[in-house]
Structure 1
């Protein structure tokens, strides 16, 4: 099938005709003056002189900015003999956050806010001489007492190399004509002292590198120094490439930062935002980014970012520790805005695809006003016109399946829902806790399943402050172990934390355009618990299998089928085979049933559960409380209260080769769930420590995870009853539909050097779409020899006529 995405490993197609006036910038280069570029930089920051002062959103935005500046100005210490600029703790000393030089970073940041207000035509402080004087006096005090070549850097490198230079650039640009040449020169000299280049040791990769380059480019514009601009532009070359280890973008769309953390929606968000800003800032100038950079930005947007966006939310599983800082929809809106800006200067076929998907996500996100919360002031009229233009169709990209093998993440987007699967391995860390953020995230990379449906606020409405961290959906967990809530601070020599990585490499799977088979050989961080876990995702269902569940710590082991936060103020009920249970908070005894159902206000909020083995399950409805300050330094003491429903298998203490099997049916009605269970709509072919396999006959898809060489029984094939076999550990997915057979094979271990031979009990007549890494050894029964060496976990797909 075809996808609306251009480079998901399947053919894309242009679906839009973009007719937005001014959408594409001129491609010709011209020699722009430093003053021209400085004015463009300030227009990006302030909205420029042509901003519409009758626009209610713009008026509200600048009123909020002015309110903050008013407070900062009023509380500023203006005494001639002052020893500080503000008397709150973060400005007087650095004790609030060990190793953070907040007494330097915070005052400079506040002076930047005030300076920008002075330079903003729509601000009530525009060209306010008193404000100007106080900002310049404040800068002189900072230079004399805190920030100059006479004051060595200390504490966290980020503040000196990235944070402070950003604020200093904004101050100098905003007050450029008000500062003396000597003042401009010494402030730029101070920035140079702390951040002389773009290659800070240990942090010159990914977003950190891009931030350094952007800062240097702006510094070059302000200093009227071509060499600095060139240093910044040339420095980007190390990031406009694909990597095969460590930080950066991988060819499969994965983005890793801090060595082992999936961070597309964290550092990757900031990186994309700055790259698009740099591109816009320099576009058409003599320093315009090379065309291949713009092409790669388009590829990243399509292949790395948009597959992780669902109705405006960017999936938490690729946001690192930022899940406790900002919501998924806040990140999603930022990325959609960046994607829009990339599309404006992309090739027509990329532009059309991206614009359609961006528009769909903006319109589908009903939680807030995109224009009011995400669009830069200068682009508000343009984006409004884009959203109102009926000739630009909003395009839902589903259905699709996207495998991010190099960051252990899987996305399954079905018509009614999307599911994100967060795994970890010997290559990818299971979570990051750092700088007083994301505390208690111990199991977020242990096979957590994120269901995205009509409840758009499921993960953004205090979820991480109130959820039971030992009952995250999808995980198999030592329910009684105790983790210490640890925190790691940035400090001398601390750039990030080398945390827990599993000893097992078998993590990943095989995928086709809109379905996939994933697996994880799980080993718990603090206990003896191990398990083989698999997921077959196709059609409108997710089949979950568990085997080889072993533990010897004399503590209870659980597999969490699901934990859902109940949207406040909306009606919910819990059904077991049609009978309502848990009308109020409480826990059921083990229930033997073939299906259960969480019924929300409508089917889009609801989830069906099918249990093929009728194994006993437990259900819980509870009210949970929490405070954001308990998990992030950006939180507060206010108590949050949310209701949850959990469904799980209790494997007991010290299980030996325990198993589980369940099917998730998000978006199904109760009647559809009942009918699905009565029809036995899934066939489990194997669920052992050696192999896990299932077939969904309704969509003709079979998935097999071979944890070792072996074979599993297959449904009747046209070459006779037989088996599916593999000569080595592998993941295999097969679809038979309409006279065509598709087969996908991968090596999730990413370690094997020799080809993998896969046998299937069916016959084919011809190869319709070949693959250079797949040799057809036999057509009846079908036997394939698949080269996996160097494949980095990707799926080799071949198609046949039956």
Structure 2
């Protein structure tokens, strides 16, 4: 993806911005190249762009495609006005008591914005448009809220910091922009009063402004805060404020270099397309889409002003879409592995992608030629493959709705995926992998001492414990993914039986059950446990693992990944006496795991499995959900070839799950000396509140299919080897008896497979020293893929520990000559073969490749 450094970002900031940033007290209007009139024109244009983005323009609002959106805006405003009419004592809107619940205060500001928005929609036939009385009523509401609930920073700031520093400022800033003329006439000084309070609430800032060293002012949060400050600066006519906000926001475009962190910040986009927020959470599907939306909105707001950035920044955002988002979207569904706590919400998946589509639609408007055409084609592709109708009425901007309609109506733009038909992506910077083939996509979630095992917060994602322990999701083409994954998957599938997970046999309690609140409270402890403290993040909200091995390699469209399953930091530090006695920490199971992502198969090896401390463990091969009335059939064959039908427990050569109602199937090959598998098919009914406190109390009933292997404590460390075969029928599964797929080694030091049909050996080496997989010798730790076809040998190598300086492998057999190699790869003869030395220092898990020819 396009890469950009912090220094390069600064080169794109207009000179007007750099002058102000260099000396914020110095007004831009003092420079000889910029007059007061030019500055005022910029501010006017900036506010006009903001209003146009949210309220539309006369042309867009006259289009039939925008009618539904505009009708909703006005209907919502009328309902908010009715709620104002019926407000009780101490309320601004009926039913919302203020003074102790920050969510109600946030909603009050949101409702005022929604009323203001309706009054500012040009070209709409509505009594609300331009109604000065309604607009002044909104302004009175702003004044009342400030006087009674927001102006006193000591009384305020209860609950979630995000409400005070981002949510409320967002609604206030947009409302001011929509009502700029009336605010100036009816309530002069109100903007200055509010901005002073907004600045005071930036308690992790510096002198009422963004502090790039603050852990709160990063990534999507930084984009939100600075976008608001840009609008505020325009309202105040404060060039220095705008320029500082533009400069601060520009830092989110810089690719994170883990070996040269700026301001200690790990949040943002990485070279391999990964996105991290909260310093260690893989978050493309939640905060990442929020950042995408905000920066594209900023591009629109700044368009035509002296603050507008160069086209290279737009190209960076295009790279985010192509390499960061597209691999994670399957037929219009955002994959589970990058959503953090948002996996427990009822509006994820297709809804997530609708937000991204709006950003892509607007981004394409700032690109030319093939880049614009590709993005527009991708918009059409998402619409054509999604199993739910994308609703443009959910877009923020009426203008975006009409742009979307124009794209769909343009027959010269073919629908086309940004992903090639076959793609394997190693998001090693966030410990994730995605493997795409026609008909399916496989998504894998790992963790390490760099990346969190899960994210829990604020009563969301209540049972997340194993989501980063090798949990995976096999998405099958043609299926409505709400029937296979999303909130109902987590609601009805046991948290201990997520697909791919090895878990100890024990019951755990949620944070609210453990502590009676949404967090662990102990402000008197030296670590200072409060609701948003660093210790709360480290030990409760998103703890990392303690293992350093998590990564993998890609060779063309093939991939391999490996992970050492570990305890998390809370358990390790509890054993070390660092945490309070009443803090509850759970010991994990241990295992060493590999995933080999091929064409028709995903092969999984696990070894060194132990529940620890005398506990049994269970490895779940797969868990799938189906409707209670779906035609689900489970069949299989024993090692002697005799047929078997489930559910039940048996030693099998293969197993097949088929949902005839949905038209999908998955086969499972049990490889090597397979252990007996347990096959379950049961109906489960549970409330969606089991996974998120604020979800509606909706009872969900599903058929839950599970296939697992038990590991009794008394039998020592165990191993398991199997392959997932998407869309397999029984004949295809029986055909694997020809031995084309085999396990070479499966132990805690080395895991390797061979596929004769592909001419491939792939391996993960977990231990130091030389290890042998077929005719390949590897000096570990390392991830390696070697493929030989028609006398051409291709090799891929990566460092899954991310701290090795060099990795060496030897490929034996007939002599080889080098045809090409990446920088950092050296090739020389070795006894019986050829030696490849790869300089992996500071590569952060990147794959290095070489191409050789047999002589």
Q: Is the CA contact 2:504–2:588 (under 8 Å) kept in the aligned structure 1?
A: no
Indicate whether 1:767 and 2:775 are aligned: no
- CA 395–768 in structure 1, closer or farther in 2 if over 3 Å, else same: farther
Indicate whether 1:202 and 2:215 are aligned: yes
- CA 348–513 in structure 1, closer or farther in 2 if over 3 Å, else same: farther
Give the secondary-structure state (helix, strand or coil) at the position aligned to 1:728.
strand
Indicate whether 1:475 and 2:496 are aligned: no
**Structure 2 counterpart of 1:521, from 557, 560, 564:** 564
Q: How does 1:216-615 map to 2 (within 5 A)?
A: 216-245=229-258, 246-325=266-345, 326-346=347-367, 348-374=369-395, 376-396=397-417, 397=419, 398-454=421-477, 455=479, 456-457=481-482, 458-460=484-486, 462-486=488-512, 487-488=518-519, 491=531, 493=533, 497-499=537-539, 500-525=543-568, 526-527=586-587, 529-567=589-627, 569-577=629-637, 581-582=645-646, 587-588=647-648, 590-601=649-660, 605-613=664-672, 614-615=674-675
1:796 matched residue in structure 2: 848
Distance 2:63 2:275 in 1: 41
Q: Is the CA contact 1:550–1:655 (under 8 Å) kept in the aligned structure 2?
A: no
2:755 matched residue in structure 1: 696
1:125 matched residue in structure 2: 128
Q: Is the CA contact 1:86–1:92 (under 8 Å) kept in the aligned structure 2?
A: no
Q: How does 1:13-92 map to 2 (within 5 A)?
A: 32-53=41-62, 55=64, 58-76=66-84, 82-89=89-96, 91-92=97-98
Q: Is the CA contact 1:115–1:170 (under 8 Å) kept in the aligned structure 2?
A: no
Q: Is the CA contact 1:610–1:662 (under 8 Å) kept in the aligned structure 2?
A: yes
Displacement of 1:432 in angstroms is: 0.9
- 1:732-760 CA-to-partner distances (Å, cap 9, x unmatched) read 1112223322111111111223x222112
Distance 1:248 1:478 in 2: 34
Give the secondary-structure state (helix, strand or coil) at the position aligned to 1:497.
helix
Give the secondary-structure state (helix, strand or coil) at the position aligned to 2:694.
coil
Q: Is the CA contact 1:690–1:710 (under 8 Å) kept in the aligned structure 2?
A: no
- 1:81-101 CA-to-partner distances (Å, cap 9, x unmatched) read 953313535x32325xxxxx2
Displacement of 1:453 in angstroms is: 1.2
Distance 2:426 2:50 in 1: 38
- 1:154-189 CA-to-partner distances (Å, cap 9, x unmatched) read 233322221111111122122222224472532343
Give the secondary-structure state (helix, strand or coil) at the position aligned to 1:359.
helix
- CA 316–495 in structure 1, closer or farther in 2 if over 3 Å, else same: farther
- CA 240–472 in structure 1, closer or farther in 2 if over 3 Å, else same: same
Distance 2:414 2:60 in 1: 28
- CA 184–559 in structure 1, closer or farther in 2 if over 3 Å, else same: farther
Displacement of 1:595 in angstroms is: 0.9
Displacement of 1:153 in angstroms is: 4.0
- CA 549–777 in structure 1, closer or farther in 2 if over 3 Å, else same: same
- CA 703–150 in structure 1, closer or farther in 2 if over 3 Å, else same: closer
Q: Is the CA contact 1:77–1:84 (under 8 Å) kept in the aligned structure 2?
A: no
Displacement of 1:711 in angstroms is: 5.1
Give the secondary-structure state (helix, strand or coil) at the position aligned to 1:504.
coil
Distance 1:654 1:69 in 2: 66
Gaps of at least 5 residues in structure 1 are 8-28, 96-100, 716-722
- CA 731–347 in structure 1, closer or farther in 2 if over 3 Å, else same: farther
Q: Is the CA contact 1:604–1:667 (under 8 Å) kept in the aligned structure 2?
A: no
Q: How many residues align?
A: 755
Distance 2:675 2:368 in 1: 54
1:19 matched residue in structure 2: none
Indicate whether 1:174 and 2:178 are aligned: yes
Structure 1 residue runs of 4 or more that deviate by more than 6 Å after TM superposition: none
2:768 matched residue in structure 1: 709
Indicate the larger mover: 249-258 or 375-384.
375-384
1:163 matched residue in structure 2: 167
2:827 matched residue in structure 1: 776
Distance 1:214 1:762 in 2: 60
Q: Is the CA contact 2:220–2:290 (under 8 Å) kept in the aligned structure 1?
A: yes
2:739 matched residue in structure 1: 680
- CA 373–769 in structure 1, closer or farther in 2 if over 3 Å, else same: farther
Distance 1:280 1:636 in 2: 36
Give the secondary-structure state (helix, strand or coil) at the position aligned to 1:784.
strand
Q: Is the CA contact 1:627–1:640 (under 8 Å) kept in the aligned structure 2?
A: yes
- CA 654–446 in structure 1, closer or farther in 2 if over 3 Å, else same: farther
Displacement of 1:130 in angstroms is: 4.6
Gaps of at least 5 residues in structure 2 are 4-33, 200-207, 259-265, 513-517, 521-529, 569-585
Distance 2:508 2:138 in 1: 51
Q: TM-score, normalised by structure 1?
A: 0.89
Give the secondary-structure state (helix, strand or coil) at the position aligned to 1:678.
helix
- CA 555–40 in structure 1, closer or farther in 2 if over 3 Å, else same: same
Displacement of 1:263 in angstroms is: 0.8
Indicate the larger mover: 180-189 or 496-505.
180-189
Displacement of 1:497 in angstroms is: 1.1
1:22 matched residue in structure 2: none
Displacement of 1:763 in angstroms is: 4.0
Q: Is the CA contact 1:446–1:475 (under 8 Å) kept in the aligned structure 2?
A: yes
Indicate whether 1:192 and 2:192 are aligned: no
- 1:570-616 CA-to-partner distances (Å, cap 9, x unmatched) read 4221112395745xxxx51x211111111123786211111123431
Q: Is the CA contact 1:93–1:102 (under 8 Å) kept in the aligned structure 2?
A: no
Give the secondary-structure state (helix, strand or coil) at the position aligned to 2:413.
coil
- 1:327-348 CA-to-partner distances (Å, cap 9, x unmatched) read 1111122123323332332354
User: What RMSD in Å do the two structures reach over aligned CA positions?
Assistant: 2.7
Give the secondary-structure state (helix, strand or coil) at the position aligned to 1:430.
coil
Displacement of 1:792 in angstroms is: 0.7
Indicate the larger mover: 761-770 or 635-644.
761-770
Q: Is the CA contact 2:61–2:398 (under 8 Å) kept in the aligned structure 1?
A: no
Indicate whether 1:93 and 2:106 are aligned: no
- 1:394-415 CA-to-partner distances (Å, cap 9, x unmatched) read 2242200110111100011111
Displacement of 1:204 in angstroms is: 1.3
Q: TM-score, normalised by structure 2?
A: 0.83
Displacement of 1:471 in angstroms is: 0.6
